[in-house]
A and B are shown apart, each in its own frame.
Chain A
């Protein structure tokens, strides 16, 4: 029985480590490295994708959210980003179901839903986040896009 208790304790340690690691990745936006050839990586033209979803690029930023039906974090993230877009002029939020556009899953090489691409006004991917996003993380992602653009202009 001692061995089983040891197994259970080890299992709890693994579970806690996974919980901490998983939470740390939730919703944190990472700046997308800019490739020298600023073409379309993987062949996705985001302006076209937005047009097919019935909208256009935001003047400040566009949150393109890729979601799935079986994803509960997608709903909370959609509420968060929808509120931010409603309150911030020039910011657009679009949600697309991965079952409608499996090509985008391949183009972005995304592994989980929701994956949120933060597009700059030219439609280039400036940052990316996956997992549930808090309002604070969404605002940080927005400023990161604008910071990257300012830095790009001065250099």
Chain B
């Protein structure tokens, strides 16, 4: 028997969507690393950071990467074996936004050297999400709680 706390979960999404989207993002972040501490890298990292914004605010379905998945990838796949709560991938989008925003803010403040480092950290998270399904909410949520005062 299972005693589940019944939560009002939002409508489920295809779990493969956020992973494909993370793969697209990881490729862009790898290009940022290749561009090094340059203006071009800063521009591309800004694009990636802005792309995280709708995902963090409205959910992972709201990004252009998710749109690419729906239009190009999903029609070629069978139906998913289960649907997933969109809240965990939304948390991951928020983490991506924070990490890339650090690089963008530092870059515009003149510290271009920070740009590829921020991209590298975000790349590791995105690539692990795409390749092995790393769930950032599982790993970081308790850490975040601990840092929050009086939590």
Contacts and interface: CB of A to CB of B under 8 A. Distances in A.
Interface in A88-117: 92-98, 100, 102, 105, 110-114
Contacts of A69: 7, 85, 87-88, 137
B124 A15 contact: yes
Interface of B: 1-5, 7, 15, 30, 33-36, 84-85, 87-91, 116, 120, 123-124, 127-128, 131-132, 134-135, 137-139, 141-143, 145, 151
B137 A71 contact: yes
Contacts of A132: 135
B145 A4 contact: no
A114 B138 contact: yes
Nearest to B143: A111
Interface stretch (A36-44, A75-83, A119-127, A145-153): A75-83
A96 B30 CA distance: 39
Given A8-B30, A102-B151, A72 B141 contact: no
Nearest to B92: A70
Contact of A68 (B35, B134, B138): B138
Nearest to A105: B142
Q: What 3 A-B pairs come out closest when comparing CB atoms?
A: A70-B137, A70-B91, A82-B2
A90 B84 CA distance: 30
A112 B128 CA distance: 17
A27 to B, nearest CB: 12
Nearest to B88: A72
Given A70-B88, A70-B91, A85-B1, A3 B138 contact: no
A109 to B, nearest CB: 10
Contact of A131 (B35, B138, B143, B145): B138
A71 to B, nearest CB: 4
